[in-house]
Structure 1
Amino acid sequence: MSKTVKDLTAGTAGGICQVLVGQPFDIVKVRMQTSAKGTYTGMLDCAGGILKNEGPLAFYKGTATPLLGIGVCVSIQFGALEYAKRFFASQNAARGQDSGRLSRSQLFSAGVFAGLANSVVSGPVEHIRIRLQTQSNTSPLYSGPLDAVKKIYAQRGIAGIYKGQVATLYREASGYGIYFLAYEELVQREMAKKGIRRDQINPLNAVLYGAAAGYALWAVIYPIDMIKSRMQTDGFSVETGKKYKSTWDCVRTVWRTEGISAFTRGLGPTLIRSPFANGATFLGFELAMRALDKL
């Protein structure tokens, strides 16, 4: 099996783990991000409202899209990351340097590359997911992911599918640069300190390193993620109309009308979700890679 196929397969395993663990937290985050100020008193109020009004299965509303889409996204992330790491390792070897340990700038650049590659799929996948997560439960606009894609494409073409893509590009490039830098630095440090191979690292450490990387990710991207969510739900229905002319207009409008607190609304469920979802992602990836290496 080629290295690229292994990377993509292991990335898919990591993505599926991420969705199954993180989806309930994600829907609470999105509801809080996109709701009007004062709609919820906090994370528990939002989660309680969803449970009371829509039932427990509502926490997995729109899961089909991320289960398939995020699986592909994380597959692309890790495929692009590992490709970039091999590229930089070959450059280091050509210079007579240690090819087994990449510099921080190289790890960050590999993460940026992974994020940009991922954004081609993650933008529309998250757009459709957010549409399904925030639509009315009593009179939904879309019956499911495919229906949403068909209706959005019929109304606005490919630009409608990629709504909010500018914010997505900013988020993925900056976020995944930090994300993979943090994780790979921790992994490489343990390997160098203990003189061990990557497949000898304790799986529990992969979870802990993934959790740390997740916190680093969200510390950088949360305000950008909020703007992305606002852009992707803008013009959701005829009744609400379109509020924002562009990404920067969205930033200015939110700042002016809701203040700085709007940029961190919904951060609570994200911080709770992050260590579990990201720990599961890297654990799934590392264990899948070990299993594939034995084939």
Structure 2
Amino acid sequence: MYQVARKFVFTESHCWDAESKRSYEDLFEKLDTNKDGKVDVAELRAGLTAMGISFRKGAAQKIVSSGDKNKDGGLDFEEFSRYLKEHEKKLRLTFKSLDKNNDGRLDSSEIKQSLAELGVDISKEDAQKILKSIDIDGSMTVDWNEWREHFLFNPATNIQEIIRYWKHSSVLDIGDSLTIPDEFTEEEKTTDFWWKQLIAGAMAGAVSRTGTAPLDRMKVFMQVHSSKSNKIGLVGGFRQMIKEGGVTSLWRGNGVNVLKIAPETAIKFTAYEQYKKFLSSEGGKVQTHQRFIAGSLAGATAQTAIYPMEVMKTRLALRKTGQYSGMLDCAKQILKKEGVKAFYKGYIPNMLGIIPYAGIDLAVYESLKNAWLSRYAIDTANPGILVLLGCGTISSTCGQLASYPLALIRTRMQAQASMEGSEQVTMSKLFKNILAKEGFFGLYRGILPNFMKVIPAVSISYVVYEYTKSGLGISN
């Protein structure tokens, strides 16, 4: 049956002619088992399985959703053939772009080079494993027909889609804005894909931060007010906040925290692209260390631009009932009482925190990714969503552990002027005071609610991200 399917679809014809149309008609007729003139998800899934054609989980649903123009839940022949034609065109363009030496075949070195161009460095052995998952005849090279056969009934259009599984994205929003920015291919930059992806990420971050805002406020509250002599537990802290301002007070500071996502994302992405161009040689590839440097500089640039909003977020999160009427009133009072410099209190420890966070986050993620590829990537390079979420969560958590003391110092410096009788001290003096009075673990006050919000934040942001991407018409 598999050979019959190959005869139907995987012909040598590269254009839409009578022979191609007959092939599509024959395949459509086989898939349309109930003969109602359309192929639904169940028929497509069952038909492809019976023919021995491999496809990813959820691929049948994505094919029908993307091809179903009249939204009747199935593909008629016109929709079916249009989907296959358009999909095949994309596959052809991508195959040509990856075929660096124009010999009509892809080898492991070309796959390795394509991965490197997108900032993913893998070993020759790992590249061969990816190639092996596509190679049909065992030649350890992939020709056009093998490439088309592997991807035609998968929504993934190219090897970049495999890479995109592994791209360490800031989509997993855990409330910290120190991650390496999203990276897009040249093809994506020339289409509307990149800005839709950024919008989906911003929306995911907004919902995620709102959902975990009470834990975020508790973290700030404990960072500033908790000490050896004034121990604040989770339950006691929440009771104290609710008693002072009601249940809605748990979301204080969330408005500005959400508002700063869009400008920060836009600035970070734009700056990242410029820094990459500056750091790489003319027409050269961006190496991993250059990507890290460019990402750190982009993060620093974005943080510098939106830092006043970071200060306002801390002040609003710590405010007492009636202290400020809103964000604008908060900004006016800070400016009037403390001057412009107040909007950059804690700026230095914040900038210093970018390096350990981004560096460790990226290093741990790369190590986990390479470990998975080495051990499990035998038949496929697709790790599955649980592996990706696990790698992202662990690497981000390690990054937070490394940078948390600096984050605590930053928050205390931001809050100093708003605390009655608080001495205005420098970063180094504050650091020494905490170590002297509270010990090493005093630098980790509030880390429990910070860790508690990681898993729900990652889960919420991923779900919202996927739904938003679907609504905007983009998919992996």
Report the TM range for the smaller structure's normalisation: 0.7 to 0.9
Which 10-residue stretch deviates more, 210-219 or 282-291?
A: 282-291
Which residue of structure 1 lines up, in the alignment, with residue 81 of structure 2?
none
Which residue of structure 1 lines up, in the alignment, with residue 421 of structure 2?
240
Q: CA deviation at 1:247?
A: 1.3
Q: Which stretches in structure 2 are left out of the alignment for 5+ residues?
A: 1-190
Asked if 1:208 corresponds to 2:390, the answer is yes
Q: CA deviation at 1:120?
A: 1.8
Which residue of structure 2 lines up, in the alignment, with residue 221 of structure 1?
403
Q: Which of 434, 451, 455 pairs up with 1:275? A: 455
C-alpha contact 1:70 1:122 (8 A) present in aligned 2: no
Which residue of structure 2 lines up, in the alignment, with residue 256 of structure 1?
436
Q: CA deviation at 1:288?
A: 5.4
Query: Which amino acid is 1:40 matched to?
Result: K
Q: Which of 325, 343, 346 pairs up with 1:161? A: 343
Asked if 1:146 corresponds to 2:337, the answer is no
Matches within 5 A, 1:115-154: 115-137=299-321, 140-154=322-336
Which 10-residue stretch deviates more, 160-169 or 277-286?
A: 277-286
Q: CA deviation at 1:66?
A: 0.7
Q: Residue 418 of structure 2: SS of its match in structure 1?
A: coil
C-alpha contact 1:23 1:63 (8 A) present in aligned 2: yes
Asked if 1:109 corresponds to 2:293, the answer is yes
C-alpha contact 1:111 1:180 (8 A) present in aligned 2: no
Q: Structure 1, residues 163-198: CA drift from partner, whole Å, max 9, x if none?
A: 21111111233323333454466567768937878x
Q: Residue 425 of structure 2: SS of its match in structure 1?
A: coil
**Relative to total residues, which structure has the larger helix share, 1 or 2?**
1
Q: Structure 1, residues 253-288: CA drift from partner, whole Å, max 9, x if none?
A: 222233222211111111111233245446655775
Asked if 1:172 corresponds to 2:354, the answer is yes
Which 10-residue stretch deviates more, 250-259 or 227-236?
A: 250-259
Which residue of structure 1 lines up, in the alignment, with residue 257 of structure 2?
66
Which residue of structure 2 lines up, in the alignment, with residue 56 of structure 1?
247
C-alpha contact 1:109 1:177 (8 A) present in aligned 2: no
Q: CA deviation at 1:70?
A: 3.1
Q: CA deviation at 1:112?
A: 1.5
C-alpha contact 1:123 1:165 (8 A) present in aligned 2: yes
Q: Structure 1, residues 218-247: CA drift from partner, whole Å, max 9, x if none?
A: 11111111101110001215x324x13321
Q: CA deviation at 1:33?
A: 0.6
Asked if 1:16 corresponds to 2:206, the answer is yes
Q: CA deviation at 1:251?
A: 1.0
Indicate how the Cα distance of structure 1 residues 29 and 158 shifts in structure 2: closer, same or farther if over 3 A, else same: same
Question: Aligned equivalents of 1:78 and 1:6: distance in 2?
Answer: 13
- Higher normalized contact order (CA 8 Å, seq sep 6+, divided by chain length): 1
Which residue of structure 2 lines up, in the alignment, with residue 40 of structure 1?
231
Indicate how the Cα distance of structure 1 residues 214 and 18 shifts in structure 2: closer, same or farther if over 3 A, else same: farther
Asked if 1:265 corresponds to 2:265, the answer is no
Indicate how the Cα distance of structure 1 residues 178 and 31 shifts in structure 2: closer, same or farther if over 3 A, else same: same
Give TM-score scaled by structure 2 length: 0.51
Question: Aligned equivalents of 1:257 and 1:58: distance in 2?
Answer: 30
Asked if 1:27 corresponds to 2:217, the answer is yes
C-alpha contact 1:115 1:173 (8 A) present in aligned 2: no
C-alpha contact 1:61 1:132 (8 A) present in aligned 2: yes
C-alpha contact 1:65 1:128 (8 A) present in aligned 2: yes
C-alpha contact 1:14 1:280 (8 A) present in aligned 2: yes
Indicate how the Cα distance of structure 1 residues 36 and 276 shifts in structure 2: closer, same or farther if over 3 A, else same: closer
Q: Structure 1, residues 108-146: CA drift from partner, whole Å, max 9, x if none?
A: 334323421331245222211111111223xx4321111
Question: Aligned equivalents of 2:467 and 2:270: distance in 1?
Answer: 16
Question: Aligned equivalents of 1:106 and 1:184: distance in 2?
Answer: 15
Q: Residue 231 of structure 2: SS of its match in structure 1?
A: coil
Give TM-score scaled by structure 1 length: 0.78
Indicate how the Cα distance of structure 1 residues 47 and 41 shifts in structure 2: closer, same or farther if over 3 A, else same: same
Q: CA deviation at 1:77?
A: 4.3
Indicate how the Cα distance of structure 1 residues 219 and 277 shifts in structure 2: closer, same or farther if over 3 A, else same: same
Indicate how the Cα distance of structure 1 residues 184 and 78 shifts in structure 2: closer, same or farther if over 3 A, else same: farther
Which 10-residue stretch deviates more, 83-92 or 168-177?
A: 83-92
Indicate how the Cα distance of structure 1 residues 35 and 23 shifts in structure 2: closer, same or farther if over 3 A, else same: same
Q: CA RMSD in A?
A: 3.6
Indicate how the Cα distance of structure 1 residues 188 and 120 shifts in structure 2: closer, same or farther if over 3 A, else same: farther
C-alpha contact 2:409 2:431 (8 A) present in aligned 1: yes
Indicate how the Cα distance of structure 1 residues 41 and 65 shifts in structure 2: closer, same or farther if over 3 A, else same: closer
